[in-house]
Amino acid sequence: MSAGSGGGEAADRCRCEPGTGGVSCCFLRDFGTEFRMGSFDWDLDTGVMDLDAGALLVFDVHPEEYDGDPASLSSRVAPDEGHRLDTMVTHALKDGSDHYGAYFRVRLRNGHPQWTHTQGLIQRDGTGRPRRIVGIVRDASEEVSEHAARLGLDEGRRKRTSVVEGTTAALAHARTVQDVIDLLNDSHGLEYFGATSLVMGLLEAGRIHLVAEGPDGAFVPGTRFTRVDEPYPMSEVVRTLTPRFIESRQDFADSYPVLWPHISGLGITSAAYLPLIAQARPIGALGLLYNDKTGFSADERNLLVALGSSIAQSLQRAMLYEQEHDLAEGLQQAMLPRRIPDVPGAQIAVRYRSARLGRDIGGDWYDVIPLPGGRVGAVIGDVQGHDTHAAAVMGQLRIVLRAYAAEGHTPATVMARASVFLHELDTDRFATCTYAEADLATGVVQVVRAGHVD
């Protein structure tokens, strides 16, 4: 383990009453009132907009009241305001803009209006098509009145907005957990926090797995995995769901006597440990280590809490992506040949590499089929689509092509029978295929193509 592995004297546990929101209740109760800012991630392909706890607080919406559909916020945004926002976002998407910003009014649960500010960064693919918007929303009531759309912004508030927006934008490109760590751990990432180094742990089966060790010499042997109840700062923040701001070296030594002797020589003067909470559940903890400061102002604490929320969302996306890709790749590999058979008189080499596109595994397949009389068949094909259904159809076609070829049919008959089989399947997918049969004794090769490339 390193300076990031959890616990010490536990802070008081959250005592939210049953039915009041559980984890979200505790988190919002402790930090939402003093720092009303949150982030969102809007997938334009699916229409789903993820809001973190801070964003839900800004809209005065309980987690159970929001289902990911932006339309479900209509009770909080007046129709004319909603229309104005829709028009602005649509215009930004169509004119090639990479960002937008606007002030609008939210109708709170008590009926009072609240000026709110949003900024969004538009992510486009290689063709320029908008695919995603990531950004922030925040309570702007202190700087905007009913009669003025905008007043001068407080410098600290502007800085918080800029830092959170910059971090959120950078993390939008992260596709794996290691991507997130690398982005945070490089010099530019650490500049956002003003920290010297960072440590990170992810919650796995009730234990904290240290995935970022911090500076050289910070790793404590035997603590790669730690329990949530152990006396370390990361364990504490996961257990209590409360940030832990360590103000000085003495504070560190007094609060975590088990950990401090191992890291006392690293020049750490203060640290901030943040619980990483996504969809109302802790997924890990982040520790920021400082070598040139003591103490944390209210603004600094608020900023770090907001950054922790943005990082948690990015980590959750990355973890989901890795799980989906592993599942999809495993399914596809299970339907492809486990080994290439030895064929006397031939040397056969195969390389198959799937694209890292989450669950988009596709229906590409290949096969090598030993045949009687010194012949060998080779198949390359592709089923339309990039999902598990395409992979399932691919698996069935591979089996029937192998069976028809083994029966001794000519290549044209093999392809014709496979085409009939596909037509009779309960699917609307089409497939392309190339089947080649080689007589190794005579050197004659017969090839049949069904829409596949040369």
17 in a structural domain: no
Q: Are residues 401 and 311 in the same domain?
A: no
Q: Which residue has the higher pLDDT, 425 or 390?
A: 425
Does any domain span residue 124?
yes
The pLDDT assigned to 391 comes to 77
Distance (Å, rounded) from C-alpha 346 to C-alpha 342?
A: 8
Residue 375: name the closest of 435, 445, 433, 434 by CA.
Answer: 445
Where is pLDDT greater, at 362 or 274? 274
312-337 mean pLDDT: 76
Decide if 98 is inside a domain: yes
Q: Are residues 115 and 216 in the same domain?
A: yes
348 and 281 in a single domain? The answer is no
Same domain? For 82 and 173 the reply is yes
Which of 275, 300, 326 is the C-terminal boundary of a domain? Answer: 326
Q: 199 and 60, same structural domain?
A: yes
Q: Does the residue 400 lie in any domain?
A: yes
Nearest to 236 by CA among 265, 266, 206, 275: 275
Q: 281: which 2 tokens? A: 């559940």
Question: Looking at the DSSP assignment, which residues form a beta bridge with residue 436?
Answer: 378, 447
- 246 within domain boundaries: yes
Averaged pLDDT for residues 80-104: 89
Please tell me the total count of domains within the chain.
2
Task: Using the 3D structure, point to which of 295, 326, 357 is the last residue of a domain.
Answer: 326
Q: Is the pLDDT of residue 368 over 80?
A: yes
406 and 304 share one domain: no
Per-residue exposure over 411-445, b if at least 16 CB sit within 10 Å of its own CB, e if not: beebbebbeebbeeeebebebebbbebbebeeeee
CATH number at residue 418: 3.60.40.10
Given this model, what pLDDT does residue 233 score? 93
- Over residues 207-216, mean pLDDT: 83
pLDDT of residue 194 exceeding 70: yes
Buried b (16+ CB within 10 A) or exposed e, 169-186: bbbbebbebeebbebbbe
Asked whether residue 326 carries a pLDDT value surpassing 80, the answer given is no
Q: Kindly report, residue by residue over 7-58, the tens digit of the pLDDT.
A: 443 334 344 444 433 443 444 344 444 558 899 999 999 999 999 988 999 9
Tens of pLDDT, residues 58-69: 999 999 999 999
Residue whose pair of structure tokens reads 């982005």 in the numeric block = 183
Q: Which domain holds residue 345?
A: 338-450
Question: pLDDT averaged over the chain?
Answer: 81
The model's pTM: 0.51
**Mean pLDDT calculated for residue range 424-447:** 90
Q: Are 264 and 356 part of one and the same domain?
A: no
Indicate the burial class of 62 (C-beta count within 10 angstroms; 0-12, 13-18, 19 or more): middle
In-domain check, residue 331? no
Residue 403 predicted with pLDDT over 90? yes
> Which of 68-77, 210-219, 325-334 is the most confident on average?
68-77
Among the listed ranges 142-146, 204-208, 321-325, 450-454, which one has the minimum average pLDDT value? 142-146
d(CA 72, CA 56): 12
* 414 and 287 in a common domain: no
Of residues 167 and 157, more confidence is placed in 167
* Residue 44 shares a structural domain with residue 96: yes
Answer yes or no: do 169 and 238 share one domain. yes
Residue 403 lies in a domain: yes
Segment 217-267, tens digit of pLDDT: 667 776 788 899 899 999 999 999 999 999 999 999 999 998 898 888 888
Query: In this structure, what CATH number is given to the domain that contains residue 284?
Result: 3.30.450.40
Q: What is the pLDDT of residue 12?
A: 40
Question: Worst-scoring range by mean pLDDT, 201-210, 248-257, 291-300, 348-357?
Answer: 348-357
Distances (CA, A) of 368 to 105, 195, 331, 397, 417: 64, 56, 20, 14, 18
Same domain, 319 and 355: no
Of 386 and 155, more confident = 386
Give pLDDT, residue 19. Answer: 40
Residue at 299 is within a domain: yes
Both 258 and 401 in a single domain? no
**pLDDT, average across residues 164-184:** 78
Q: In the Cβ-directed half-sphere of 151, how many Cα atoms lie within 13 Å?
A: 13
When pLDDT is averaged across residues 338-354 and rounded to a whole number, the result is 82
Final residue in a domain of this structure, among 276, 298, 326: 326
